[in-house]
Structure 1
Amino acid sequence: METIINYYNKYDEEPRLMRTKANTLEFETTKYLLKYYIEKSDKILETGAGTGRYSLHYANEGNCVTATDLVPRHVEIIKNKALGNKMNNLTVGLANATNLEKYADNSFDVVLCLGPMYHLTNIKDRENCIKENLRVLKPGGILAIAYINKHYILSNLLFKDKKFLTNDFIDKVLTDGYLSEDDGFNFWTDSCYYTPKEIEEFLGTFNVNKLENAATDGLGRLLPEKVNNLSDEEFEVYKNYHFKSCREESIVGYSNHALYIGRKKL
């Protein structure tokens, strides 16, 4: 986990979801999908909250929110935001999504895991992450898992930089499903990838029933210049189309980010 902490101590996560029109699709679509499942009375835990973009949103909506992250720098940023906005309904804590021992069983109505699965290269860590997120979730509660698609990564990188245009790199992503900083192929930090079918098969082994598996940025991140060059009015039309198409199975696999929403079995 030190590799991840070191990376995010240097990387500015704060503007990521708002940097461009194409970037905002992930945030806006995640909110759009979750609005069908989150009530204002729900108690929410976010694991891997980053700098708190989602946690602050739901706290502003009136939910009682607990935001956690692995990176101390991120935790301090969220704490300062909560303090500055005088949010008494937002609690912030340092926690690893694979070990939530400070939180009791069946204590949250909703658990948002919108980042940890991007970086857990070890299968045992991924399993522990899901087990722990489900453990603290009430029976019948909502679990939202964000993941990154294998085929987006390949489609993006193979044309972006020809050093990745090798059979070894393609096989590494498709077969292993992860990249590490020291494996010679890394372009980011330790990272993990799934196809929509693979994430459903993986999560199908746990105590959760699938409700949604949708594209949160769709084709917008493969065609960022076209999306970013839209006027504000044109972008609203495109976003409306994206909301209508984000559940379409033929699109999900080419989205950079995707969201699996499930309900914990009773």
Structure 2
Amino acid sequence: MSDDVSDIAAYYSSDPTREHTRLERHQLEYELTWRYLERYLPAQGSILEVGAATGRYTLELTRRGYAVTAVDLSADLLDACRQNLERAGLAARVTFALADARDLSAVPGTDFDAALLMGPLYHLILESDRRIALRQVYDRLKPGGLLVSAFISRLGILGDLMKDLPEWIDDPREVHALLEVGHRPDDASRSGFRGYFARSEEITPLHESAGFETLALAGSEPAISADDESYNRLEGERRRCWLDLLYAVSTEPSILAASRHLLYVGRKPAA
């Protein structure tokens, strides 16, 4: 493992609720991701969830009857995940493992029906580390096993930067580094959020180089830029109709890169 990611663990440990509440703000990302999970996950089976955080997906997966192994880099996040499962009366059905996505030797089992990588790949700055993480998951899936992974889009994040951090544009080094290499300058401080922002066209080749067969590449927040509030206000049938429409266009190549988060779906070959 060539990059020290202790700062990333510390970032999440400093506020274990951050990821839980993030998905309350970004409701389209969560609901559209579930459309893909419902479409591609097997009806039952075992799921390896690497980057489980506080358990937003773990809770619902377990409620639906899946056997989940929840893995995270942060002991504090994993403890929060366990507590959330305990409050829901579901903890006994989940296996917890503290591990780096690049070394899953602490994870029992190599015959999972599916795996989720919903965060680790966008915190691994080096491409070599992303490849290692994908191979670690590949080796723990049974033949035909499904993979769902998430990325942050290099261009899709611009709307959030303009909305929440407009002064970012004042630093040419930061702007150049994002556009050219997808992360902050190498000599930048490691405090706060440190991530890798991917180009949409690199995601499928990355997974296929690890052996996966591609099923879908989608934007999980298509056509809304940084405007979560308009979707969050929708209710009932109108909300469902908008979700139907955005799901239908989520794989449209012309808008993929404009989505803040990108979702890859693939599988380990059956043979």
The TM-score normalised by the length of structure 1 is: 0.89
Q: Is the 8 A contact 1:147 1:257 kept in 2?
A: yes
Q: Which moved more, 1:208-217 or 1:186-195?
A: 186-195
Deviation at 1:165, TM superposition (A): 5.1
After superposition, give the CA deviation of every residue in 1:182-216 in whole Å (9 maximum; x if it has no partner): 526x8952100112111112222111111000011
5+ residue gaps in structure 2?
Answer: none
CA distance in 1 between counterparts of 2:224 and 2:158 reads 16
1:173 counterpart letter in structure 2: L
Q: Counterpart of 2:9?
A: 5
Does residue 1:194 correspond to 2:175, yes or no? no
Does residue 1:111 correspond to 2:115, yes or no? yes
CA distance in 2 between counterparts of 1:75 and 1:61 reads 21
Q: Is the 8 A contact 1:212 1:262 kept in 2?
A: yes
Does residue 1:176 correspond to 2:181, yes or no? yes
Deviation at 1:150, TM superposition (A): 0.5
Q: Is the 8 A contact 1:210 1:262 kept in 2?
A: yes
How many pairs were matched up?
262
- Helix, strand or coil: the match of 1:92? strand
1:214 counterpart letter in structure 2: A
Deviation at 1:230, TM superposition (A): 4.3
Does residue 1:161 correspond to 2:166, yes or no? yes
Q: Counterpart of 2:38?
A: 35
Q: Is the 8 A contact 1:121 1:180 kept in 2?
A: no
1:236 counterpart letter in structure 2: R
Q: Is the 8 A contact 1:180 1:190 kept in 2?
A: no
Does residue 1:127 correspond to 2:107, yes or no? no
Q: How does 1:45-194 map to 2 (within 5 A)?
A: 45-87=48-90, 88-103=92-107, 106-158=110-162, 160-164=165-169, 167-179=172-184, 182-183=187-188, 188-194=192-198
Deviation at 1:154, TM superposition (A): 3.0
- Helix, strand or coil: the match of 2:217? strand
Distance 1:2 1:236, change over 3 A: same
Q: Counterpart of 1:204?
A: 208
Does residue 1:16 correspond to 2:22, yes or no? yes
1:192 counterpart letter in structure 2: Y
5+ residue gaps in structure 1?
Answer: none
- Helix, strand or coil: the match of 2:246? helix
Q: Is the 8 A contact 2:72 2:99 kept in 1?
A: yes
- Helix, strand or coil: the match of 2:32? helix
CA distance in 2 between counterparts of 1:104 and 1:51 reads 20
Q: Is the 8 A contact 1:59 1:65 kept in 2?
A: yes
Distance 1:136 1:182, change over 3 A: same
Deviation at 1:86, TM superposition (A): 2.5
Q: Counterpart of 1:238?
A: 242
Deviation at 1:226, TM superposition (A): 3.5
How big is the alpha-carbon RMSD for the aligned residues of Structure 1 and Structure 2? 2.3
2:20 counterpart letter in structure 1: E
Q: Counterpart of 2:227?
A: 223
Deviation at 1:138, TM superposition (A): 1.1
Q: Is the 8 A contact 1:40 1:61 kept in 2?
A: no
CA distance in 1 between counterparts of 2:24 and 2:135 reads 31
CA distance in 1 between counterparts of 2:240 and 2:39 reads 20
Q: Is the 8 A contact 2:225 2:258 kept in 1?
A: no
1:169 counterpart letter in structure 2: E
- Helix, strand or coil: the match of 2:151? strand
CA distance in 1 between counterparts of 2:33 and 2:125 reads 24
- Helix, strand or coil: the match of 1:220? coil
- Helix, strand or coil: the match of 2:178? helix
